[in-house]
Amino acid sequence: MMMTTRRVTMAPDAEAGERGGVSLFSQGEGEPVISCRGVAKRFGGQTVLSGLDLDIMPGETMVIMGGSGSGKSTTLRMMIGSFPPSEGAIELFGRNICAMDEDELNETRKKIGILFQSGALFNSMTVAENVALPLHEHTDLDPETIDIMVKIKLELVGLREAAEKYPAQISGGMKKRAGLARALALDPKILFYDEPSAGLDPVTSAAIDQLMVDLTQKLGVASIVVTHEMDSAFTIADRMAMLHKGRMIMVDKREAYEELRDYPKDRIGELNEEQQLIRQFLRGDHEGPMTESHTQNSYEADLLGADLSKLTGGRAIQTTRRIK
């Protein structure tokens, strides 16, 4: 069964994608719900993100990938206004987050749903009470109306029969569904998912993927998903974005990533180093530019604690086979 109607149009600058550069393109369905331009983030002296340009279009599912520490969570946190960028601008629904006062930021946050890793449910409340919470907090709706809205959300995620159960009485997959129902409570325009399949068995994980795809179709929300699960990523994504060491090295439609993943090994020399790195990441190969640069860095830092470039005349040691 095909899972979703893809609303992605082809990149006008397909070449940019092929070169592994960032290709920004509009999908022709209105203004972006999120727009990042020249965004950088520094913590103390450490630059963890730089030169980030990224648009999230209405109704699309964008999967953000990258190794541990590449800046995925930092990107998400800035997008939801948890902290400001050190440089550049982030617009939510066309308004610069940094220009918003606390009231406007709170209003804007109501249009955003966030599914945390564990579902982040309150254990002392039933599933229904958890879903009702944002409605009690952020609306003046009467309890009967809230009741009905909760039932609708639980029905959407297939959890109506568990309404009166407590989080401890339901499985991990059901907790994710409940967390999703709560994230949907205020009818958000954007949904953020942090590792939605983490800790789930493959079947439950596939069911959550299917649910995400269904919800995108039914509700037309834009979704931003951070995941390490490649099966999941390729199932749900309209577009994908790859972060590497704080830089967005490729933003393109799912099909372009599929092409890279399936690129024949004997033609790998046709790919540039970033594309090879992405190919390795997507395939989960233990050998490739990603592992080699990582090993090299840890080697320098852990064993020598010194600037190895002094020993190599300013050049980085290349263990990578460079095929050009």
Ligand X SMILES: Nc1ncnc2c1ncn2[C@@H]1O[C@H](COP(=O)(O)OP(=O)(O)OP(=O)(O)O)[C@@H](O)[C@H]1O
Residues of this chain that bind Mg ion (CB under 5 A) = 73
Q: What does 122 interact with, of Mg ion, ligand X, none (CB < 5 to 8 A by kind)?
A: none
**Residue of 74, 232, 235, 293 that binds ligand X (CB under 6 A):** 74
Q: Which of 17, 71, 113, 173 binds ligand X (CB under 6 A)?
A: 71
The C-alpha atoms of residue 30 and residue 86 are separated, in whole angstroms, by: 28
Q: Residue 70: name its binding partner from Mg ion, ligand X, none (Cβ under 5 to 8 Å by kind).
A: ligand X
Check binding of 43 to ligand X (CB under 6 A).
Answer: yes
Cβ at position 291, least distance to ligand X in Å: 16
Work out whether 70 is an interface residue with ligand X (CB under 6 A).
yes
The burial class, CB within 10 Å (0-12 / 13-18 / 19+), for 204 is middle
57 binds, among ligand X, Mg ion, none (CB under 5 to 8 A by kind): none
Amino acid, single-letter form, for residue 287:
E
Structure tokens at 265: 């090994």
Instruction: Report the distance separating Cα 25 and Cα 57, nearest Å.
Output: 10
The DSSP call for residue 22 is B
CB burial class (10 A; 0-12, 13-18, 19+) of residue 144? Answer: exposed
Query: Chain centroid to CA 111: how far?
Result: 17
Contact between 5 and ligand X by CB under 6 A: the answer reads no
One residue of 40, 42, 47, 73 binding ligand X per CB under 6 A = 73
Identify what 74 binds: Mg ion, ligand X, none; CB under 5 to 8 Å per kind. ligand X
Among 68, 101, 284, 286, binds ligand X (CB under 6 A): 68
Report in angstroms how near the CB of residue 212 gets to ligand X at its nearest: 19
232 binds ligand X (CB under 6 A): no
Report the partner that residue 134 touches, choosing among Mg ion, ligand X, none (CB closer than 5 to 8 A by kind).
none
Residue in this structure with the two tokens 């994608």, named with its chain if needed: 17
Q: Which is nearer to ligand X, 294 or 321 (CB)?
A: 294
Provide DSSP, 41-105.
EEETTEEEEEEEEEEE-TT-EEEEEE-TTSSHHHHHHHHTTSS--SEEEEEETTEEGGG--HHHH
12, 30, 69, 199: which one contacts ligand X (CB under 6 A)? 69
The answer to whether 72 contacts ligand X (rule: CB under 6 A) is yes
Measured from the CB atom, the residue of 12 and 69 that comes closer to ligand X is: 69
CB nearer to ligand X: give 43 or 122. Answer: 43
Within a 10 A sphere around the Cβ of 244, how many other Cβ atoms? 20
State which of residues 32, 66, 167, 288 lies at the interface with ligand X (CB under 6 A): 66
Phi-psi group of 30: left, alpha or beta (phi > 0 → left; psi -120 to 50 → alpha; rest → beta) = left
Residue type, 152: I
Residue 71 binding target from Mg ion, ligand X, none, CB below 5 to 8 Å by type: ligand X
State how far the Cα of 36 lies from the Cα of 59, in Å rounded to an integer: 17
Tell me which of ligand X, Mg ion, none is bound by residue 68, counting a contact when its beta carbon lies within the kind-specific cut-off of 5 to 8 angstroms. Answer: ligand X
Binding-site ranges for ligand X (CB under 6 A): 43, 48, 66, 68-74
